[in-house]
Amino acid sequence: MRISVLGCGRWGSFIAWYLHKIGHRVTSWGLPESPEYQRLAKEHKNDVISFDPDLAVSCNLAYAVQSAEVIIISISSQALRSFLPKVMEAGLGKQPIVLCMKGIEESTGLRLSQIVQEFAENPVAVWVGPGHVQDFAAGIPNCMVIDSKNDEVKRMLVHKFSSELIRFYFGADLIGNEVGAASKNVIGIAAGMLDGLGLVSLKGALMSRGTREISRLIGAMGGNPISAYGLCHLGDYQATLFSPHSHNRRFGELYIQGKPYDKLAEGVSTARAMVRLGEEYRVDLPICQTVNNIVTHQKDPQEALSALFLRSLKEEF
C-alpha cells in the first residue's frame, strides 16, 4: 500500500520505518523547519532508527496527502485541530485516516477521532497500545490495537499492518480505546512523581485505582468499562509507569526533582482535559485531579499525593 505518515517525531518516524519494513511504500512527511525533519531529510536516520534509501522523506504536504491510500497522523494531540485544515487544503481524498497519537483535546474534552470528523467524512481509525520505539527497533515484539467505527477499514488495517514485531488486535470500543490510551499518560505522570518521591511501593495502588478510575469514566461516556483493563490502558502500564523510555513517567519524576524536561509529555494537557470530562460526566477522577492540581495549580506534590493515597480509609475504590 501507499502510506503517508504525517509527523516525523519519535513515534511518527518509527511508524514510517515499521510500515516500510513490512513491505509498504511509505512517505514520511514533516515540517521543513523541524529539526526532526531536517535530520531525516539529510541523514535518513535519527537517534533510534535508520530509513532505507527508498523510504521517501518529504516536506510537501500536498504530495504526501494526494499520493497515499492511507494517511497516518502522528503529531501532538493538541495540535490536531489546527493541522487538519492544512490536510484538507492539501487535497485530502476519501482515504482512511489513522491516528497514531494519544490525547484528549484540552479546550473541549473531545476525543481525537471526534475532532477529525468535524473536518472530514473519511473513515477514522486509532492505533493504540503499549510499546516504545527503542524496544521495537531492537526487535522486541508487542501487541497493539486498531479500532474504528468502520469495521471494514479496521479489519483491512489490522491485516495490512500486522507482523511478527507488532501483533494487532481488533478494537471493539472506540470510546474506551481512545480515552484509555490518552489517560494512561496521566497515570504515567503520577507514577513518575512517586518515583521522584521515593514511593515506588505505591505504584501497585496507583495501578489498581487508576484502572478503576478510568473504567468509571469510560462507562459514563458510553463506552465499555472493561476496555480500561485492555491493551489501551492497563496493558500499557508497564511501558508508561515503569519504562525509562516513558516521556510522561520521566516528566513526573523530574517535576518532583525541580528539573526541566524538554520532551513532549502529553499527559499534562490530558490531565486538564480529564478533569473537564470528570466534571461533565460527574465521575470522580481523584488521580487525574491530583496530577492536574500539581502541574497546573502548583499544589505541593508531597501533600497532594499523600492525600490521594490516604483518601480511601473505608473503601478500596
Give the number of other CB atoms < 10 A from CB of residue 33. 8
DSSP state of 164: S
- Distance, in Å, from the CA atom of 46 to the CA atom of 36, rounded to the nearest integer, reads 8
Cβ atoms of 189 and 249 closer than 8 Å: yes
DSSP state of 50: B
Burial class (CB in 10 A: 0-12, 13-18, 19+), 260: exposed
Can you tell me which residue has the cell 493504540?
A: 128
Give the number of other CB atoms < 10 A from CB of residue 1. 14
- Distance, in Å, from the CA atom of 288 to the CA atom of 281, rounded to the nearest integer, reads 14
Cβ atoms of 70 and 45 closer than 8 Å: no
Question: In a 3-state reduction of DSSP, which class is residue 277?
Answer: helix
Question: In a 3-state reduction of DSSP, which class is residue 272?
Answer: helix
Question: In a 3-state reduction of DSSP, which class is residue 147?
Answer: strand
What residues have CB less than 8 Å from 314, skipping those under 6 apart?
none
Tell me if residue 184 is catalytic: yes
Catalytic residue among 45, 102, 160, 184: 184
Question: What cell numbers appear for 103 in the block?
Answer: 490525547
At position 219, the amino acid (one-letter code) is G
- Distance, in Å, from the CA atom of 246 to the CA atom of 149, rounded to the nearest integer, reads 29
- Distance, in Å, from the CA atom of 218 to the CA atom of 196, rounded to the nearest integer, reads 29
Cα 21–chain centre separation: 22
Q: Annotated active-site positions, please? A: 184
